Amino acid sequence: MDLSRFPRRVYTHGATPLEFMPRFTRALGGPQVWIKRDDMLGLAPGGNKTRKLEFLVADALAQGADTLVTCGAPQSNHCRITLTAARREGLKCRFVIEERVPNSYRVDASGNHFLFRLLGVDGITVVPAGTNMREAMQRVADEVAAAGGKAYVISGGGSNALGGLGYVACAQELQQQFYEQGVRIDRVVVGSGSSGTHGGLLAGFLGNRIGIPIVGIGVSRDPADQDPLVHQEAQAVADLLGLDMTVPREAVLTFGDYWRPKYSIPNTKMVEAVQMLARTEGILLDPVYTGKVMAGLIGLTRAGYFRADENVLFLHTGGATALHAYEPQVLGDAPVAE
């Protein structure tokens, strides 16, 4: 698949590492676990949104935008990386923050919100849970236009067909690494939220005929709600690429439960996963996304879903900056949900 016809800004020079995790594998006592270090992508300090923004920001610049407008939760990694891209390109940046958990937004919060302030976000609009985020972002874009600017609206998580191209590029990168490193991967485990990463990677695997199943771990929804979003995103990416392909429904697989009791609320499985990877491999996960995704990998292993002789790849999508907003919970010094 030729991605060169799409405008693209390059924020990462070279491939992110593909590494085996021997000490974590030993501690888990299950499959051979590998990790794709997309937490080391460009735009401080890395994460999966960087791949999406390479295409989205290029489109914004092509349209003559001077302001990026996007949305997320109070500790949004996507907002932080979008702001970093804006600073790299000399653009303004404004957020609509959805307070999905009541009273979770604090002006003086640590973690990503500290970085919002450090990087100098140009405006934050806080709205309650359930707000129509597309309409809320459009109101901000209208304010920018009224002031003589031109806004480019980026959907939550950068999850649309254009952003999904970033994970088509990742699929191609992985295919090359498997060949160069002589690695055989049996299954890939990925976080499944706004669906751009999961859907884009699935479209990339199908389009490049990479016959490896992708196992999604929901970070905010169970399969009945999550699978249709992933399928829709994968199909949209395939259509944008002109693949003349219908994405099979059975190619979409997600597991729920590990995100409970609610999006961004810590639970004991997440705490175990974050501590386990930090203390075996020195790799940091985050409490909202990758910690719960790794909890899914651990839980599925213990349930016998992954065989001991399999090679399982964990896609690390970044987000460790949010750890500082959850320090007592992650260290076990404060109670968390079961």
Active site residues: 76
CA triplet 184, 290, 123: central angle to 5 degrees?
130
Contact yes or no for 197/218 (Cβ under 8 A): no
Helix (H, G, I), strand (E, B) or coil at 70: strand
User: Which residues face 92 on adjacent strands?
Assistant: 67
Burial 100-118 (b: 16+ CB within 10 A, else e): beeebbeeebbbbbebbee
In the DSSP assignment, the letter for residue 47 is B
Contacts of 310 (CB under 8 A, 6+ apart): 31, 32, 186, 187
- φ and ψ at residue 149, rounded to 5 degrees: -100, -175
CB-neighbour burial class of residue 206 (10 A; exposed 0-12, middle 13-18, buried 19+): buried
